[in-house]
């Protein structure tokens, strides 16, 4: 999970930014000073040293952390609310990539897991998770990089709607094995 988060908040954001504007030193400084990277480093140090936060700070984090996911959903929802049905136009290549991402990759993943001897609940769980829609991080990265969020919002929304059909199909196929 740490690897995913580090890659998401470094390379993931870097994909959405204009690289011609900054030199390497500026980019590296921006990566290191990203609040998400700082949180990962601090959390890793706390884990390795078995350090526990003071009760007051720990309680504050326990009470406020459940609000973070809904806040991200509100940001994504605000972007979604600014779309109209006429905005939902994707090139054919993106439709193909959505079908591949939501349907073909999970089935290929299931075949790889079967070849590795993984079966039952671990396989089904992994395959269903891989069939889930494109993450909302795409929209958040676009916004953080100062980009135009409409295409990312459309892509995420269509992927979510498509997953209503593809997840049951993937589950049906995998449950036959």
pLDDT digit string, tens, across residues 71-126: 877 877 776 777 676 766 767 777 888 888 888 889 999 999 899 988 888 888 88
Q: How far apart are alpha carbons 142 and 121 in whole angstroms?
A: 35
- The whole-model pTM stands at 0.59
Name which residue leads in pLDDT, 5 or 114. Answer: 114
pLDDT at position 1, please?
Answer: 56
Q: In this predicted structure, which of 124-128, 131-135, 158-162 has the lowest mean pLDDT?
A: 131-135
CA 142 to chain centre: 12
Q: How far apart are alpha carbons 146 and 80 in whole angstroms?
A: 17
């Amino acid at each position: 999970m740490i690897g995913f988060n580090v890659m998401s908040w470094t390379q993931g954001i870097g994909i959405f930014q204009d690289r011609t504007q900054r030199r390497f030193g500026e980019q590296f400084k921006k990566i290191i000073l990203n609040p998400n990277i700082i949180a990962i480093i601090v959390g890793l140090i706390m884990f390795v040293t078995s350090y526990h936060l003071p009760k007051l700070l720990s309680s504050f984090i326990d009470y406020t952390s459940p609000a973070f996911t809904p806040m991200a959903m509100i940001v994504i929802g605000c972007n979604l609310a600014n779309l109209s049905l006429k905005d939902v136009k994707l090139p054919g290549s993106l439709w193909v990539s959505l079908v591949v991402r939501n349907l073909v990759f999970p089935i290929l993943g299931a075949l790889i897991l079967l070849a590795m001897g993984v079966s039952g609940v671990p396989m089904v769980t992994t395959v269903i998770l891989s069939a889930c829609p494109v993450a909302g991080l795409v929209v958040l990265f676009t916004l953080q990089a100062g980009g135009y969020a409409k295409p990312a919002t459309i892509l995420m929304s269509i992927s979510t709607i498509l997953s209503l059909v593809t997840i049951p199909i993937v589950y049906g196929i995998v449950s036959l094995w």
